[in-house]
Amino acid sequence: MHLLRLIQSQVRLGEPLPWGVRDQQGKLLLARGQVIANEAQLAALLERGASVDIEEVRAAASRSEAEAKRPTSLFAQWEQVLWQLDRVLRSVGGEPGFGQRVNELVQHIEALTLRDPDIAIYLTVRQDPKRLTIYALAHSVHGAMVSLLMARRLGWDEAPTHTLMKAALTMNIAILDLQGRMAAQGVPATPPQMDMIRLHPTQGVEMLKAAGIDDATWLDTIAHHHERPDGTGYPAGLHEAGELTTVLRYIDVFLAKMAPRALRAPLSAQLAARQLFQESGGAPASAAIIKEFGIYPPGEFVQLKSGEMAVVVRRGANASTPLAAAITDRHGMPNVNTVVRETSKAEFAITALAAERNLVLRVPPERLFGLPE
């Protein structure tokens, strides 16, 4: 074994290691695939003389070269966005240029969303209940994506659209880890946790100001996105809020209802949309969100008249007749290959939402959409 001293530039914080990290005697400290989460952990390893096996480095380089030649799945790119957001949010207190990093991420999310809006919506509807600990990251990314789709449907200018997206990405910056713990803990929030929840809008604004953010609309949107017209919101119990603030609350609540929790199953998109419409009084922003998702949005699990169970993959010209990928045959047996059905045809009409089953999660989404896996 030939060891090379690890250098800081070799490590990408928050991403799986492409090789093992060893001490100076070759003893394994971190296996390949594990993650160095922050600069403090990296600094401690470097101080201990952390090293890597040159053969492992060469093998990783070969893998990277092969992967670079292979088309990257759009789903893999969305997965990378989660960890990019994690790195950006955790850099708020220690690295200059925070605002620019958020702007760059907004532009990246916009590009991925517009490349295939149906896949973007699929990711909000079809979330893995085994990944609750990253709820905060997924929720923020989905919030930015829905902000974009809603704003484009309403004809908003770029400036308010991007401000809303930035607010969605950073609204929970003060409770990044707490949200994941609460989603996965399986018991109601404790009083100390609720105190942190009530304070997080104010604390988030303070963190952003300390990082050099001086956009008053961005800050105000975060400060008041939990206020409600009846005065029961927090942190100030206001009865009125700005347009972006109100819209962010709609998006925040709508997505939270569709997200799985250890304590409860997610609501269907139909039920979440119905509740959003009622709670907002049919406001234009909520109506735009509901129209973007449709009656059966991508990711919804449905029963077809043919007897097949299918996952919606594409919105149709009509809100009630999307394209759906059948993942079972008419007898309920899993299909080896998915077959796309036009639910506008009588024999493949949607008859009901299907009961939630783990079968959906076992089918790679690339296969549903006919993309390379």
Coil/strand/helix, residue 352: strand
Q: Are residues 177 and 306 in the same domain?
A: no
Convert 259-298 to b/e letters by CB count within 10 Å (16 or more is b): bbbeeeebbbbbebbeebbebbeebebbbbbbebbbbbbb
Are 344 and 203 contained in the same domain? no
Residues 37 and 113 in one domain: no
Do residues 214 and 319 share a domain? no
Peptide bond into 235 cis (omega under 30): yes
| Consecutive H or E run containing 353 | strand 350-353
Domain of 103: which CATH number? 1.10.3210.10
CB 33 within 8 A of CB 19: no
Q: How many domains does the chain have?
A: 3
Question: In 10 A of CB 29, how many CB atoms?
Answer: 14
Residue that finishes a domain, picked among 34, 69, 104: 69
| Partners of residue 312 on adjacent β-strands | 324
Distance CA 222, CA 305 (A): 45
Same structural domain, 79 and 216: yes
**Digits of tens for pLDDT over the chain (373 positions)?**
778 788 777 888 878 888 899 988 888 988 888 888 788 888 888 888 888 887 888 788 777 666 655 567 899 999 999 999 999 999 998 889 999 999 999 999 999 999 999 999 999 999 988 889 999 999 999 999 999 999 999 999 999 999 999 999 999 999 999 999 999 998 999 999 999 999 999 999 999 999 999 999 999 999 999 999 999 999 999 999 999 999 999 999 999 999 999 999 899 999 999 999 999 999 999 999 999 999 999 999 999 999 999 999 999 989 999 999 999 999 988 888 889 999 999 999 999 999 866 678 788 999 999 887 6
Give per-residue burial for 50-79: e unless 16+ CB within 10 Å, then b. bbbbeebbeebeeeeeeeeeeeebbbeebe
For residue 347, count other CB atoms closer than 10 A to its CB.
Answer: 10
Is residue 20 domain-shared with residue 134, that is, in the same domain?
A: no
- How far apart are the C-alpha atoms of 75 and 372, rounded to whole Å? 10
Last residue of a domain, which of 265, 293, 321? 293
The Cα–Cα gap between 163 and 171 comes to: 12
Verify that 136 and 113 share a domain, yes or no. yes
Residues 115, 262, single domain; the answer is yes
Query: Torsions phi, psi of 314, nearest 5?
Result: -140, 135
Are 246 and 127 in a shared domain?
Answer: yes
DSSP state of 298: T
Same domain, yes or no: 289 and 352: no
- Let me know whether 252 and 358 are in one domain: no
Domain that holds residue 149: 74-293
**Rounded to two decimals, what is the model's pTM?**
0.81
Clarify whether residues 61 and 187 are in a common domain. no
| Residue that is last in its domain, among 244, 268, 293 | 293
Residue 355 DSSP label: P
Q: What is the pLDDT of residues 286-311, one digit of tens each?
A: 999 999 999 999 999 999 999 999 99
Q: Which helix (H) or strand (E) holds 314?
A: strand 309-314
